[in-house]
Amino acid sequence: MTTATLSLSELTAAATRAASVAAAASDEERAGWLHAVADALDANAAELVEIADSETRLGSVRLTSEVARTSGQLRLFARVVTEGSYLEAVIDHADPASTPPKPDLRRLLRPIGPVAVFSASNFPFAFSVAGGDTASALAVGCPVIVKAHSGHLRLSERTAEVVVEALHSSGAPEGLFALVSGREAGTALVQDPAIKAVGFTGSIPGGRALFDLAVSRPEPIPFYGELGSLNPVVITAAALAERSGGLAAGLAGSFTLGAGQFCTKPGLVFIPSGTGFAAELAEASKDKPTAAMLTTRIADAYPDGLRSVASVPNVDIVSGTVDQDATVDGAAPVVFSTSAANVLERADELLEECFGPTTLLIEYQDQDELSKVLAKVPGSLTATLHAQPGEDVSGLVEQLSSLAGRVLFDGWPTGVAVNWAQQHGGPYPATTSLFTSVGATAVRRFQRPVAYQDAPEEVLHPALREGNPLGIPRRVDGELVLP
C-alpha cells in the first residue's frame, strides 16, 4: 500500500473520507492503530536508524533512543484516549425552575478533521513522520498528511511506508495517513481546503510564512508552530558562590548537546557581574568535540550566526572561534559574553537565535537590571533558574513564567519528558499558540468543542450518555465525577 503515486488533491480527498470513519471509531480502535504503528517502528528500528544516521549523522545511540521515544509517544497517546478525560465531557441537566430556564446541555471535544504536519530537521523520528504531532492527531481521529523534511527524505519515505502498512494491517481506514515532499507541496498543503489545522516545527522565517498562509485562507485554520527559542537561564549570586564548577560543567554539557541543535538549548545565561564564571565555562567547554550538523545548510549558517554575534560592539569571545568551517570540520563550541546594559541597548542584534553549540553570557549588576533585560527576551519554550534554598525568588519566578512555557529549577532544559504534565510551548516566537506539542494535552490542538442541547440519548456520543458507558471522568452539574 503506497501514497507516493497519488496527487495532493487525491490525498486530501482520501483524508476527508477517512476523517468521518476515524471520528466514529472507538477510542480502543484508535489506540489499536497507534500501538500497531509503535510496534512496527520498534520492529524496524535497526533499518530506520541506519538510514537516519546516513542522512543526519546523529549517531546510532542517539537515534536508537529516539525511535524508542517515538514509539513511546504513540503508546502514551493510546493511553490518553482510552483514559477518556481528553474528551472533556460535560453534562448540565435541564433545570426548568431556574431563571431563565436551563436546557439540557452536553459538551465534548470532537476531532477537527484532516491535519497537515511539517517534519522537523533535528528530531528525525520524534518530531517527524511518526512523531508527536502525527501521534496526537491520529489519536483523536484526525487524518494526517505529513510534509517530509528534505534533511532526511529517504528516512521519511521509509518511515511512511512502515506507518501506512501498520495502519492498514490494524484496520485503519484508507487515507488516514500520507506523505508528501517538496516546498511547493508543503505550501499547497497548507492552502488546501480539506486541511483543518497545521502542526509545524522549524525556523521562524519558514514557520511565519506558513502561518500567514494558514490564517489568510478564505477559511483560516489554526497553525500550531514551534519556531524559535532562546531559553534563558538565570543564575543567582548565591548559587554561583556555592556551586560554580558544577554549573559550568552542566551548562557546557547542555548547550553543546547534539551540536546545539536542540530547540531547548540554553542560548542566554544571566550571571552576576564581576565573577569568574566565564573562565570556568571556557574551561568546561574547551574539550567538547566538534560535531557534524544536521544539514549542509545548517552547517553553513552556523559560522555566519557566530560572526553576526561577534560583530556586535562590546561582545567578547570567551572561548572558541568564529572562524570555523562547520561543514567540513563539524561545529565547534563558542561562548560569548556581554553586559546586560549592552543587551538593553542592542536587543535586536543580540536576542537572535544562533542554531548550534553556542551560548551568550550576560552579566547583570543587580536585580533591577536583570528584570529589565529579561523583559526584552522574546517568548521561549523554557526558562531556567539556579538559586539557593531560602532565596526569595518569587518575583523572578513570576517573570520567567511570563516568558516561557516551562520553568526549570536547578537543572538544564535540554530534555523534554513525554508525559501528562509536559508543556512544550511558550509565547511567540517559541510557538504560535497556547498549546503544547509534547505530552498528553497535545491532542487538544486537533479538537473542537461541540455542545448538544436537549439531544435524544441515541444520537449522543457515548461519552455524553447518562449511564457513562465508557466509564470516563466527566463533569456533571458542575461536579467532577470519576468512574
Known catalytic residues are 226, 263
C-alpha–C-alpha distance, residues 123 and 226, integer Å: 13
C-alpha–C-alpha distance, residues 74 and 81, integer Å: 11
Q: Which of helix, strand or coil describes residue 266? A: coil
- The residue written with cell numbers 498543503 in the block is 189
> Using only C-alpha atoms, what is the Rg of the chain?
24
The burial of 483, by beta-carbon neighbours within 10 Å (0-12 exposed, 13-18 middle, 19 or more buried), is given as exposed
CB 450 within 8 A of CB 441: no
Strands 197-201 and 223-226, by their bridges, are parallel
Question: Residue 201's closest CA among 411, 36, 432?
Answer: 432
C-alpha–C-alpha distance, residues 236 and 269, integer Å: 11
State which amino acid sits at residue 255.
F
Sequential DSSP letters for 114-135 = -EEEEPPSS-TTTTSTTSHHHH
Helices vs strands, H then E, count in the chain: 16, 17
479 forms beta bridges with 476
* Edge-to-edge strands, sheet with 177-180: 177-180, 144-147, 115-118, 197-201, 223-226
Angle, helices 60-83 vs 27-43, to 10°: value is 170
Cell of 20: 468521518
C-alpha–C-alpha distance, residues 331 and 350, integer Å: 20
C-alpha–C-alpha distance, residues 159 and 177, integer Å: 12
